[in-house]
Structure 1
Amino acid sequence: MGRTLVIGDIHGGFKALKQVLDRAGIVENDQLIFLGDYVDGWSESSQIIQFLTQLSGKQECIFIKGNHDAWCEDWLSFGKGSDVWLFNGGKSTVESYNDYSVEDLDLHLEFFQRMKNYHVDEANRLFIHAGYSSMHGPEKEVYSSNYRWDRTLWETAVAMDKKLAKNSQLYPKRLLLYNEIFIGHTPTLDIGIKYPVNKANIWNMDTGAAYTGSLSIMDIDTKEFWQSDPLPALYPDEKGRNN
């Protein structure tokens, strides 16, 4: 068996995706788990989806759905995107689809529809785009939108006292449900860090590829990670989601 690697938020940065997969030395028996937000920001969102559909035919891939992916799925379904989405990177995604046929758009829509809300592996490790609010875990979540939007899971881990033991009555019950949790959604740049961050038993893989940061990929067993160049260096004539 090969490695299992987890990939953070891409946000239309196809150059960064190709670069980081190359730097990690990906081979066909590696399993790849993508944490969502493939689109919106840099100019190559549709190219990413096209590449990932082909990649999944060559090796085992798990695709988690992010909030930006849900927005894009709605646009592909109904032909209209919300102003909020367009302002938050959706405009570049729409433009990237200018030359696609109806048949190709339908294939991409099917790809979005097949994405998972979350994944739990045999080692009781959770992979989810954002988080969940239920103390009983994501399968008991009342609002499925929390899979793609919740920040309280990460905020809780960041605010925790590092000395708090897992057997303490004060240790958050949500965190005890899994051996490890891998998330994206909230850039590590928000706490001034440019690489994957571990807080409590959570690993945050969103290293700010939508903005000034890099795209990151990590071996979930060894915790070795690789990063692309900062996205502004790969797209010097663009502004990503800073526009």
Structure 2
Amino acid sequence: MSRFVIGDVHGQYDGLMMLVKQINLKPTDQLFFLGDLIDRGTQSSAVVAWVMKQGHFCLKGNHEQMCIEAFAAPDTSTVWNGWLVNGGMRTLESYGEAGMLDEHLDWMSNLPLYLDLGDVWLVHAGLNPYLAIEEQGEEEFCWIRERFHRSTEPYFPNKTIITGHTITFIFPEVDPGQLALGIGWLDIDTGAYHPKSGWLTALDIDRAIVHQINVFTRAVRSLPLSEIAVPVKPIEERQPVKRKWAWA
């Protein structure tokens, strides 16, 4: 049995199917998603439908949370408009039937925020290094960035936190397609939707192999984790970085 974890898919159904074929998923294997199945790409409904049908484990990401909150708010609200401009419009366009959307919203509402696998700890965004797990919630697990990446000590002494949420190439040490290795954490969101990257990543946890496909070029590759994970410094040790792009 192998355990695979996939980073932010963001509506890239065709790419996801290529990646699943590449890892040669077997019935005894386990597949985990870190959240953000939806938004930005044009095939969000197909991605959610497939994950639901296959029964794979999925965490809640900030984009699932935004979607849920948007449909609970008046359609003239800033919450609704905020979701639409952050990729929600493409998700909305991918649904042809309201019944299917309602079913998916119910499923997304019940997604867990993290998963402890013993040797690794899965979460969408990260966690607050200054708070106990039980003191944290969606704001930390779905949204946190700088405070998590600022930590100079591992949160767990004997396990690695695997995250998505932050596209890896915003770290100055990391090139598009590479993974970011921090102190006690590994970020595998390689920006599948982003024109600067296009890489969608699956990590074989037990064999430490990274499988990737590029949604734009259709390139595929499999590399040892040690060859593609780049160590990054805690945020306070870096010079300020001017970011051309902003992501939610």
CA deviation profile, 1:185-229 (whole Å, cap 9, x unmatched): 000121232122322221111001121321100111221011112
After TM superposition, give the deviation of residue 71 of structure 1 in Å: 1.3
Amino acid at match of 1:175: Y
Work out the CA distance in 2 between the residues paired with 1:77 and 1:51.
24
Identify the residue that residue 96 of structure 1 maps to in structure 2: 94
Residue in 2 aligned with 1:105? 101
Q: Distance in 1 between matches of 2:39 and 2:206?
A: 30
Alignment partner for residue 110 of structure 2, among 93, 108, 114? 114
Q: Is 1:64 equivalent to 2:59 in the alignment?
A: yes
Tell me whether 1:222 sits opposite 2:220 in the alignment.
no
Tell which has more relative contact order, 1 or 2 (C-alpha 8 A, sep 6+): 1
Q: CA RMSD in A?
A: 2.2
TM-score computed with the length of structure 2 as normaliser: 0.78
Counting aligned pairs with the same residue, the percent is 26
Equivalences for residues 62-211 of structure 1 within 5 A = 62-77=57-72, 80=75, 82-97=80-95, 99-102=96-99, 104-123=100-119, 125-141=120-136, 143-152=137-146, 154-156=148-150, 171-172=152-153, 175-177=155-157, 179-191=159-171, 192-193=174-175, 194-211=177-194
- In 2, Cα distance between the equivalents of 1:178 and 1:107? 38
Distance in 1, matches of 2:167 and 2:63, equals 14
Q: What is the CA–CA distance in structure 1 between the aligned matches of 2:101 and 2:138, rounded to whole Å?
A: 25
Residues in 2 aligned to 1:65 and 1:90: alpha-carbon distance in whole angstroms:
16
Q: Name the CA shift for 1:178/1:37 in 2 (closer, same or farther; >3 Å).
A: farther
Shift of 1:78: 5.1
- Aligned partner of 1:40 in structure 2 is 39
Whose strand fraction is larger, Structure 1's or Structure 2's?
2
- The letter of the residue matching 2:32 is I
Give runs of ≥4 in structure 1 deviating > 4 Å. Answer: 76-79
Q: 5+ unaligned residues in a row in structure 2: which ranges?
A: 219-245
Q: Distance in 2 between matches of 1:178 and 1:33?
A: 21
Contact 2:129 2:147 in 1 (8 A): no
The answer (yes or no) to whether the contact 1:182–1:205 under 8 Å persists in 2 is yes
